Every structure is written in structure tokens, then in C-alpha cells.
Amino acid sequence: MSIESVNPATGEVVDSYDETSESQREDRLERATETYAEWRETPIERRQGLLSEAADVLRGNVEEYATFMTEEMGKPIVQSRAEVEKCAWLCEYYAEHAASHLQDEVVASAPEARTVVVHEPLGPVLAIMPWNFPFWQVFRFAAPTLAAGNVGLLKHASNVPGCARAIEDVFREAGFPEGAFTTLLIGSDEIDAVVADDRIAGVTLTGSDGAGRAVGETAGRELKKSVLELGGSDPFVVLEDAPMDETVQAAVQARLLNSGQSCIAAKRFVVVDDVYDEFVDRFVEAMDEQVVGDPTDERTDVGPQARPDLMDELHEQVEKTLEAGGECRLGGEPIDREGAFYRPTVLTDVPEDAPADREELFGPVATVFRVPDEAAAIEKANDTRFGLGASVWTEDLERGERVARRFESGLAFVNELVKSDPRLPFGGIKDSGYGRELAEDGITEFVNTKTIWVQRAGGAGTEMVE
């Protein structure tokens, strides 16, 4: 069978790719296992050098890779190029810092012994990745995983098979051995069998909380390490002393980045009463100014939704919210044109338990809530089953940090939109998952942190306590 890649802006088939057959899957799993036996022994300086080569490959082919993204999932071309550049930066980060993150640590212990903590790779790691950042999500798994001495297998989203193949080619062209990074073009119904396979040492997933629960259940049953980066409904808290010009500008960007299809996008705008009317008026005006259209056009701010069915789901959430009593201040409907385009939308007066209050809206739809004061803003920000990111906007930095510390989230920003950075750990709590990606935390997720105790025979007696 074949997988078709369809351009969401035009509905045209971009290309078709052969699915990985059961026998091919078996061959690739076996090859990955064999490669791991050699790769784990490869000096880390060599692994770092190859990551540096991967960064060069990415930058040398930026237009090709950016075009793949834009054609397959509709990301505006300017943002696609930026995504490729960010992947190169990530490779360079681990090319520089992997050895220091993984170096042995001598720990003071018993005076007659030398105790060392070392980090050893686990084996082949399966990554189940989404379509919304089709290069970045993969590279933030692959770069630290490969640097640590593991090998990677990728099950990418079915609507970005060209991106999946292109990423495999990046590592091959950079000089990584065959089997160090392998793409499996398989269906979701095959994931459980791969996770359960004895050759897989761990699994990481970025996606919905439903998918995360299913993968986490299988990994838990098999006693395998897992990292889950799931959905989010990030609050964007605006206090009465917020710098309004910068706040409104950032609010638009935070909601519409990647055409609104980002787990760390600001989705719930929580605004104190003193500045609520001013914020809403200016926010609606700024959202209305955004250019929606052809994602290959440099001037486009918002492209299509990645698939027509995803746009339909988003519109259903909006309609149910309005039926429940919410008010639509802008947009609220698909654009009458070819392609899966949805108008930038602002909802207000949303009742509790309406979809826009409780569910993640994965598209260019913002929900604004009025609250009386800071305490109520924090309460509303935390009133969600998600806990990925959050931001607060205020002129008082001490106040901002105090509020940030009270957010129930894995990421908290003051006067900046929530974003990922190779130098900082990334991940969430509650229904947004567990584990961390990026920085030192990301590279040590899939390693065996081993304690080594070295002592002369006939030394001090052994304590009979576990």
C-alpha cells in the first residue's frame, strides 16, 4: 500500500510513498539493533562531529526541507525555513555540550571507596511524532538520543511522509551509520507491536493525551522508559500593569504561530478587569490584520490547517462554544476558498465547561476570559487538566516571577511567549505528559544512570541495609 501526501492549501497530491511492510519493519528493527551494538561504542567526540555535520546538511538544503513542510502540512514558508534553522541550532548545541552533559561524575561517598555515576545508552528508542512541527519535533528527540549512543526509529504522522524520509536522509548524508536513524512508514495500528518488541528499549511520543495514554500503557506494561509530550491549553495572563503594545503583539504571535497549531500556543487569554476592554479591542484589531493565504507566499501570516478534518473539528468546537453562550468577536468560520483555511477567531464570554474553556483548540482560535484581579487570574490559569506552558505580562518583574512560580505548568514565562530552547528543559505536567526534552535533562532521559562503587578487597564492612 502507499501513503499519499496531500497539500492542505490546494487539496492536490504532492507525492505518494510505499508503506513499510511487516517484513521490512522486521529488517529495520534488526538492523537498528545491530547498528546500536557498534554505535554505543563510538567515541562521543565522533557522535558530536556527526551532529555538527547534520547541522551543515540542514542549512545546505534549507529550501528543500522548508518546501517539504509547507507542501505537506501548510506551514507558512518563512516559518518553515526558521524551523530548519532551529533544528540546525539544536544539532550544534548537542555537538558542543553532549560530552559535558554525559561526563562521569565522581561523588563523595565512603572514605574507603571511589564512587562514580556514569551514563550509558539504553538501545533502540522509538519516536512517535506529530505533523505540526515535522522537523523540529523529530530533531529534538533524535539529536540527544543519538549523541547519547542510542539509535532512533521514527514513526511519523501519516500526512508528512516526505518530511520523515527527508530527515532520514539528513542523518545518512551527515555520515551516520546505516540503521542509526530509521523511518518506519507504518500505521497507528502497528505502534503497539513495535513498542512491545523486545528490541525497543524506550519510547517517546509527542501528540494527543489520548495517544499518550495508549503508548504509556503499553510501555508501562513492558517496563520500558517513556517520555510523553502531550497537548496544552496554555494561559496568557495579562495584568493591569502589562506593557500593552508589546503584550498585544506577542498575544497575536503566540496564538497564530504555525497557523495556531502548536501545543505551546497561547490559547486562553486571562485578562484582569482593569485592562480587559482595551486588550480585547486591540487584540481583535490585530488578529484581523493578519494575512491568511497561500503558505508559499512570503507575506502570509496564517496558512491552512493541516487537514480538512482537523479544521472541521475546530469549527465544531467553536460552534458548540457559541451555542453554549459564548460571543464571537472575530472570525468563527472557515474561509470560503479552496483549501483548509480558517479565519483568525476571538471568542469572549465563554461559559465554564464549554469546549473553548475545557478543550484544546488546535487552530487560530483565541479565547479571552475576564477576571477581577491577579489571584483570580492565577486560579483561572490553573483551572485546566493541561499543564504545559504559561505566560504572564506585567511591568513588575518581581511580581511576574511570583506569578510564574504559581502556574501549574512545566514552562512559565514572564513577558515572553512560551517557546522551546535547546538550552532549557521542555515538558509538561498533568495531562500534558511527563519527562523532559532538550538541554541536559533531554539527553539523560534515555540513558542508564549507573552507580559504580570501587573499593579494595578487605575494606570496611558491608552495611546490611538495602
- The Cα 132–Cα 159 span in angstroms is 10
**Contact (CB, 8 A) for 105 and 116:** yes
Catalytic position from the list 71, 72, 229, 359: 229
**Contact (CB, 8 A) for 370 and 380:** no
Give the three-state DSSP class for 436: coil
Whether 229 is catalytic: yes
Q: What is the DSSP string of 364-421?
A: SEEEEEEESSHHHHHHHHH-SSEESEEEEE-S-HHHHHHHHHHS-SSEEEESS-----
If one counts every other C-beta atom within 10 angstroms of the C-beta of residue 458, the result is 6
- Residue 76, amino acid: P
Phi and psi at residue 300, to the nearest 5°: -75, 130
Residue 300 DSSP label: -
**Contact (CB, 8 A) for 307 and 8:** yes
- The Cα 123–Cα 259 span in angstroms is 37
- The Cα 94–Cα 150 span in angstroms is 14
- The Cα 266–Cα 80 span in angstroms is 20
Catalytic position from the list 87, 91, 163, 263: 263
Nearest Cα to Cα of residue 235 among 376, 396, 343, 438: 376
Nearest Cα to Cα of residue 434 among 210, 218, 204, 266: 204
Whether 45 is catalytic: no
- The Cα 331–Cα 64 span in angstroms is 34
Residue 286 DSSP label: H
Strands 433-434 and 225-229: antiparallel
- Residue 112, amino acid: E
- The Cα 451–Cα 116 span in angstroms is 6
- The Cα 255–Cα 365 span in angstroms is 7
**Contact (CB, 8 A) for 392 and 403:** yes
C-alpha cell at 404: 510564574
Strands 151-155 and 124-128: parallel
Residue 303's alpha-carbon distances to 7, 53, 162, 288, in angstroms, are 11, 32, 19, 14
- Catalytic (active-site) positions: 229, 263
